[in-house]
């Protein structure tokens, strides 16, 4: 009888141990099917390893490294449909992608095996079929891809560009912030018609983000800079104003996001430990105030605000979602444990993820 009772106790302990081991720990990403706030609409394999993503209208473009540029029709987000690709050969990989629906153009950053990077525009026809993709605007940037960011600005708040022109913002590893102007010169071609605003910095520019006319640029070990583009002349490419420089941060500033009066800056191995995310109040943009530093597991590859939530592509740390309604007290809101979340974007009330192993992932709130 005693041995039977002993066996029962051991079984009970074993079951309880399994239960507690299976439960996710607080503030750790959980398996996607168990997310309290988000459900998966679809997971789509991508040729290569998804590294970046850009969504607009019914099109999503995925930078898939050695798999080139992969293009999907997401009219039905529960069943994305592959419609085209643009490959770069055996010795080049697509690292970043930026898609403009109004300009009908994709700009991609390509890493070559020799270590140089260059940008190229890929033009779409109205049908967006594989055999109608072609390229122009080959631009030899000769940059270190780890220190380059880009963004197409095709609809400035203060003065909309037409559908025959766009501005391309780039960061150079040498510490330069440069803007290029492009105009359509024919049915299937674009010409660069200007480049300026070559702002130099003592630090290395590592990331930038825009919210309306305010642009935030992160600088390696020197925090970030805020620029005001409300009076920027989009024809002559002059008139941007530097508002402030904020360098009261430890660690190397990398990715950056901005929303209203709040800036989030990813700090690589903050204070010699895990990556940190600095939340900086810019209610008074000339005098930013550090509110809190939140630590995350994994490497912060991308960040994006959506109202009072901050979505973080944290590599092996999965997708992390913070509630930043009070920047002084950021709260863990949710997490999804994917393989390697390389990029995240919010569009059309959905969360779009590039995961290096699982490909294109689309989420929606429950």
- Tens digits of per-residue pLDDT, 336-362? 989 999 999 999 999 999 999 999 999
* Pick from 23-32, 62-71, 286-295, 330-339: least confident: 23-32
* Pick from 182-186, 223-227, 282-286: least confident: 182-186
Q: Which band of pLDDT confidence, cut at 50, 70 and 90, is reported for residue 264?
A: very high
150 contacts 107 by C-beta, under 8 angstroms: yes
pLDDT for res 346: 96
Mean pLDDT of 182-209: 74
Q: Which band of pLDDT confidence, cut at 50, 70 and 90, is reported for residue 142?
A: very low
| Number of Cβ atoms within 10 Å of the Cβ of 105 | 22
pLDDT for res 273: 66
In Å, the largest CA–CA distance within the chain is: 92
Instruction: Please report, rounded to a whole number, the percentage of residues in the chain having pLDDT higher than 90.
Output: 40
* Pick from 34-38, 153-157, 297-301: least confident: 153-157
Instruction: Indicate the average pLDDT of the chain.
Output: 79
In tens, the pLDDT along 298-316 reads: 899 999 999 999 999 999 9
Q: Which band of pLDDT confidence, cut at 50, 70 and 90, is reported for residue 18?
A: very low
Query: At 202, is the secondary structure helix, strand, or coil?
Result: coil
* DSSP tag of 235: T
Which pairs with CB-CB distance under 8 Å and at least 24 residues apart come from 54-60?
Answer: 54/97, 54/98, 54/99, 54/106, 54/345, 55/99, 55/345, 55/347, 55/348, 55/352, 56/99, 56/100, 56/101, 56/347, 57/101, 59/99, 59/101, 59/128, 60/352, 60/360
Which pairs with CB-CB distance under 8 Å and at least 24 residues apart come from 186-191?
Answer: 188/123, 188/125, 188/134, 188/136, 189/123, 189/136, 190/105, 190/121, 190/123, 190/136, 190/137
Residue 156 has pLDDT above 60, yes or no: no
Mean pLDDT of 109-136: 57
Mean pLDDT of 10-14: 49
Q: Which residue has the higher pLDDT, 25 or 260?
A: 260
Q: Which band of pLDDT confidence, cut at 50, 70 and 90, is reported for residue 171?
A: confident
Instruction: Please report, rounded to a whole number, the percentage of residues in the chain having pLDDT higher than 70.
Output: 72
The first and second tokens of residue 131, run together, are 């055999």
pTM for the whole thing? 0.84
| CB-based contacts of 75, cutoff 8 Å, min separation 6 | 58, 81
Q: Which residue has the higher pLDDT, 10 or 164?
A: 164
Residue 20 has pLDDT above 50, yes or no: no
Residue 256 has pLDDT above 90, yes or no: yes
Query: At 97, is the secondary structure helix, strand, or coil?
Result: strand
DSSP string, 262-298: EEEEEEETGGGSSEEEEEEE-SSTTS-EEEEEEEESS
Domains of the chain: 29-365 (2.130.10.10)
pLDDT for res 272: 62
CA dist 197 and 215 (Å) reads 13
Q: Is 72 exposed, middle or buried (0-12, 13-18, 19+ CB in 10 A)?
A: buried
Residue 85 has pLDDT above 80, yes or no: yes
């Amino acid at each position: 009888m005693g041995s039977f009772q002993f066996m029962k106790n051991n079984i009970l302990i074993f079951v309880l141990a399994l239960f507690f081991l299976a439960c996710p720990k607080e503030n750790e990403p959980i398996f996607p099917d168990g997310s309290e706030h988000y459900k998966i609409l679809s997971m789509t394999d991508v040729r290569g390893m998804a590294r970046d993503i850009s969504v607009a209208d019914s099109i999503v473009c995925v930078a898939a490294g050695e798999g080139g540029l992969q293009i999907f029709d997401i009219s039905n987000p529960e069943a994305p449909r592959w419609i085209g690709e643009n490959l770069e050969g055996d010795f080049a990989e697509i690292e970043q992608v930026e898609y403009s629906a109004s300009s009908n153009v994709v700009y991609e950053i390509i890493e070559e095996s020799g270590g140089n990077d260059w940008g190229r525009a890929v033009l779409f026809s109205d049908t967006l079929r594989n055999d109608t993709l072609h390229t122009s605007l080959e631009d030899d940037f000769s940059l270190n891809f780890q220190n380059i960011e880009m963004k197409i600005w095709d609809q400035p708040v203060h003065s909309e560009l037409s559908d025959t022109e766009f501005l391309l913002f780039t960061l150079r590893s040498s510490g330069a912030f440069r803007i290029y102007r492009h105009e359509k010169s024919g049915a299937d071609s674009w010409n660069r018609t200007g480049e300026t605003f070559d702002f130099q910095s003592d630090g290395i520019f590592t990331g930038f983000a825009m919210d309306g006319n305010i642009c935030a640029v992160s600088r390696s070990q020197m925090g970030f800079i805020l620029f005001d583009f409300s009076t920027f002349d989009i024809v002559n490419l002059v008139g941007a104003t530097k508002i402030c420089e904020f360098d009261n941060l430890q660690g190397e500033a990398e990715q950056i996001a901005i929303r209203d009066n709040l800036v989030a800056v990813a700090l690589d191995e903050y204070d010699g430990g895990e990556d940190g995310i600095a939340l900086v109040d810019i209610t008074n943009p000339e005098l930013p105030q550090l509110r809190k530093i939140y630590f995350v597991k994994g490497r912060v590859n991308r960040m994006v605000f959506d109202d009072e939530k901050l979505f973080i592509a944290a590599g092996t740390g999965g997708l992390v979602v913070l509630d930043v309604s009070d920047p002084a007290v950021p709260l863990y809101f949710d997490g999804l444990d994917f393989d390697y979340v390389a990029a995240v974007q919010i569009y059309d009330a959905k969360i779009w993820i590039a995961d290096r192993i699982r490909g294109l992932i689309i989420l929606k709130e429950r």
